[in-house]
């Protein structure tokens, strides 16, 4: 049996993936994968990197970054097998992009003496979109992003070309308007319209977060974690009383919740 490579650089990882994907001697599971079947793992690994950063665990971050890099290598290997591109093309493209987008670092003496302005950044991005034959402002905001994150990116991109409220007051007005429209849809019992208005309300909440300079994804993750901690505390108290959650009335649970909230705040 062939030994795994001893070196631990990117070449070793590329070799490991090449051997895993070998149709004759590779791993049957790895061989049968495609871009579509690997995609959920790629997304999951990106979130696990975010989780490691939130935990402040550098050992965990090191491992999760490795898992995410493996996903890049996996996709590049499959593309190479199909004759589209290889890992060198991937790294070459991102190096070219970073150099192109940072003329104040990699440019000539005149360019290095100036700071990168928002206008210059947009010029560079517009040129990239034109090269890709994507002429509309929002064309290259990835469709596959989580909806909350994509909403923020769409709004930021529109704001860069001047399509934005001048201050936060109109955002609150829009928020109240969307709440009223959701209530109207609920009163009419129009489920399709309820879903549409709920989406509009969430989109406006993202806009509000953006104007407050709050990352909506991070804010929601924080609220999720807070809810989890408080719910666990409630469950612990209920179990300590010899009962289950289902055996406890909503009024009792609400009272315990408020007590936990006061203690944690």
pLDDT tens profile 21-37: 999 999 999 999 999 99
Q: Which two tokens stand for residue 136?
A: 């509309």
Residue 40 burial (CB < 10 Å; 0-12/13-18/19+)? Answer: exposed
Contacts 24+ apart (CB under 8 A), 206-209: 206/148, 206/151, 206/152, 206/155, 207/155, 207/165, 207/171, 207/174, 208/168, 208/171, 208/172, 208/175, 209/152
pTM of the model: 0.63
Q: Would you kindly state where each structural domain of the chain is located, as residue ranges?
A: 10-85, 217-264
May I ask the CATH class of domain 10-85?
mainly alpha
pLDDT tens profile 62-90: 999 999 999 999 999 999 999 999 999 99
pLDDT averaged over consecutive 10-residue blocks of the chain (265 residues)? Answer: 68 95 96 95 92 92 96 98 97 92 78 61 68 72 86 92 93 97 96 96 97 93 92 96 94 95 88
């Amino acid at each position: 049996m062939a030994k795994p490579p001893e070196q631990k650089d990117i070449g070793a990882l590329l070799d490991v993936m090449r051997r895993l994907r070998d149709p004759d001697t590779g791993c049957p599971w790895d061989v049968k994968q495609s871009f579509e079947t690997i995609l959920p793992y790629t997304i999951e690994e990106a979130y696990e990197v975010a989780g490691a950063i939130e935990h402040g665990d550098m050992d965990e971050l090191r491992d999760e970054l490795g898992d995410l890099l493996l996903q890049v290598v996996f996709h590049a290997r499959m593309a190479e097998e199909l004759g589209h591109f290889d890992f060198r093309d991937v790294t070459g493209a991102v190096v070219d992009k970073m150099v192109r987008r940072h003329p104040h670092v990699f440019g000539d003496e005149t360019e290095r003496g100036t700071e990168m302005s928002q206008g210059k950044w947009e010029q560079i991005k517009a040129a990239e979109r034109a090269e890709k034959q994507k002429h509309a402002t929002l064309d290259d905001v990835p469709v596959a992003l989580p909806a909350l994150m994509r909403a923020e990116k769409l709004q930021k991109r529109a704001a860069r070309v001047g399509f934005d409220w001048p201050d936060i007051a109109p955002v609150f007005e829009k928020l109240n308007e969307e709440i009223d429209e959701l209530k109207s849809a609920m009163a009419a019992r129009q489920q399709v319209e309820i879903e549409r208005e709920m989406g509009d309300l969430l989109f406006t909440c993202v806009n509000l977060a953006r104007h407050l300079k709050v990352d909506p994804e991070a804010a929601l993750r924080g609220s999720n974690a807070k809810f989890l901690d408080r719910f666990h505390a409630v469950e612990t108290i209920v179990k300590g009383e010899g009962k289950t959650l289902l055996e406890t009335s909503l009024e009792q649970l609400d009272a315990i919740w408020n007590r936990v909230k006061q203690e944690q705040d």
